[in-house]
Amino acid sequence: MKLKNRYIYIYIMKHIEHIIIPTLGRCDKQITYNNLPNKYQDITKFVVQQHEFDIMNNKYPGKVLCLPENIKSIAPTREWIFNNFNDTIFWVFDDDLDFVFKRPNKEEGSKWITRSMNELDFDIIFNEYIDHSIEIGYHYGALSTTWIIPEEKHYPTRENYRIMTNVFYNGPEIPRDLEWFTIIK
């Protein structure tokens, strides 16, 4: 956000304040959390159902939030997360994510080079990407999923129309009258 002063522009960086991982049935297999650099694990909270709270809280003391007893599915869980963190900038990740970075391969061979993300990659995403997205008016967004093959003409960004496994929210800017629902087939 830029605040205009008569003589100078003051630039305020907006960074991710919380990483939230709703999890169920994976007390012993926290893939997403284990793939985050330590400094981002420090701002991570798990959201669990009551029957898993004690197990998770013993493994991750002070990092576990317990859902109300009546919440048993993902859509109400996401609504609960939003309502409890909507005054912050936060990211919600599924509990089973690997993080990879893809870039075009200019040499012979595969069209894309894929590697595991490192701490610098996370810094860029959680700081520069979020800051830029907020500055240009986005209130939520996501990283692409690995099953969507990138297109070089859109690299390094593209319209991400499949927001499902990870979403960042600029909580203070999102309307409070969202309707949350579950699609039942």
pTM of the model: 0.78
Distance separating alpha carbons of residues 116 and 134, to the nearest angstrom:
26
Distance separating alpha carbons of residues 126 and 132, to the nearest angstrom:
10
Tens of pLDDT, residues 113-166 = 778 888 888 888 877 777 777 777 777 666 755 555 555 555 555 555 555 567
Q: Which residue ranges form the domains of the chain, and what is each CATH number?
A: 2-173 (3.90.550)
Residues 93/19, Cβ–Cβ less than 8 Å = yes
Residue 123 CA: distances (Å) to CA of 27, 40, 138, 163: 27, 9, 19, 21
Cβ burial, residue 63 (10 Å; 0-12/13-18/19+): middle
Tens of pLDDT, residues 73-102 = 888 898 899 899 989 888 899 898 888 877
3-class DSSP assignment, residue 154: helix
Residue type, 37: P
